[in-house]
Amino acid sequence: MRRGCEAEHLAHAYVVAGVLRGEARELAEKALSLVFCSSARRPCGTCRGCASVRDRTHPDVLWVEPQKRSRRISIEQVRSLQSRMSQTSFAGGWKACVIVGADRLSDEAANAFLKTLEEPAPRSLFLLLTDGPQFLLPTIASRCHPILLRTDEDTLEDAWRGRLLGILAEEERGLAVQAFARADRVQRLLKDIKEAAEAEIRESSAEEAEDEDADTRDARASARYREMRSALLRCMLLWYRDVLLLVCGGDERLVRNTASLESLRAKSRALSYRQALRNVETVLAMNRQLESNIAESAVLGHGFCLLAGSKEVV
């Protein structure tokens, strides 16, 4: 990005995949400082450009975040960013837009945004931050330069991951009753994760924002929980990805859950390629259903039956 910036050859759009409130945001801020810094040695970190990027007051930088309750980015937000980005820049240079959680654009919003990516105004920069790059509309992802910051399984705490992998590693015999028991255990795990998310937000609220009202705090706790739940689904996805890899006869050195290699091997022996692939698709579908607010118990119950290959469920 630095070289591109110096040569005035920056791409119009980047997907930055990483922890939203961590490296992804840091990289976005650094990239913006690079573009808007007025010093000779960019980014200097001290000039007005750098400072206004940091405190988010730069008039040519627009941050778009998912709405609090729905956790989606709406078509109205996209229309407003399109109108802002089509105006001439205040400082006479670049204009930039950061979309935090670009995978949370609603379908309608994503399609509208695609038009902007197809015909970007000159000297406009889009940074699409996401912790779930696999959920971006492929037509959007293909028009952006990808920057992958970190493997995503790191966002789920070890204790939670251990419990989840324990459930996934159990032997299964294709029985619906067994699948429902599993779904139930994952739901109990999610309940504990939810309590942890609420405790985390309560503590941070007591320390940093004493005047925060209950609604805002609830919204933050719910957003945090969804982040953690989505990390859990990614962890599940990686598990089924590993199984698929082994079913295909892939190189065992590419397995991500190395500690579970034995159970992964056992699982892969019992599955056809078709079922292993379907399992990966099932987990992706489960995540999408949870994101669209379908009840957890329904998503998990149905999902685990499909994963168990149970024929008792329609």
Is there binding between residue 10 and Zn ion (CB under 5 A)? Answer: no
Identify the CA nearest to 149 among candidates 127, 117, 124: 127
Is there binding between residue 54 and Zn ion (CB under 5 A)? Answer: no
- For residue 57, the minimal CB distance to Zn ion (Å) is 14
- For residue 48, the minimal CB distance to Zn ion (Å) is 8
* Residue 105 backbone dihedrals phi, psi, to 5 degrees: -65, 135
CB nearer to Zn ion: pick between 92 and 249: 92
Residues 6+ apart with CB under 8 A from 230: 131, 132, 287, 290, 291
Three-class DSSP category at 72: coil
- Residue whose Cβ sits closest to Zn ion: 37
- For residue 39, the minimal CB distance to Zn ion (Å) is 4
Amino acid at 99: I
Q: Binding Zn ion by CB under 5 A: which of 1, 5, 44, 167?
A: 44
- For residue 206, the minimal CB distance to Zn ion (Å) is 36
Residue 64 pairs in a beta bridge with 99
Q: Binding Zn ion by CB under 5 A: which of 35, 37, 245, 306?
A: 37
Is there binding between residue 47 and Zn ion (CB under 5 A)? Answer: yes
CA dihedral 253, 257, 262, 268 (to 10 degrees): -80
CB nearer to Zn ion: pick between 59 and 174: 59
Structure tokens at 62: 């627009």
Is there binding between residue 27 and Zn ion (CB under 5 A)? Answer: no
Binding part of the chain for Zn ion, among 41-49, 100-108, 239-247, 262-270 by CB under 5 A, reads 41-49
Please report the sign of the dihedral spanned by the C-alpha atoms of residue 217, residue 220, residue 224, residue 229.
Answer: positive
Binding part of the chain for Zn ion, among 43-51, 83-91, 289-297, 298-306 by CB under 5 A, reads 43-51
Residue 190 and residue 229 in contact, taking contact as beta carbons nearer than 8 Å: yes
Residues that contact Zn ion, how many (by CB under 5 A)? 5
Taking the C-alpha atoms of residue 300 and residue 190, their distance in angstroms, rounded to an integer, is 11
Is there binding between residue 32 and Zn ion (CB under 5 A)? Answer: no
Chain contacts with Zn ion (rule: CB under 5 A): 37, 39, 44, 47, 50
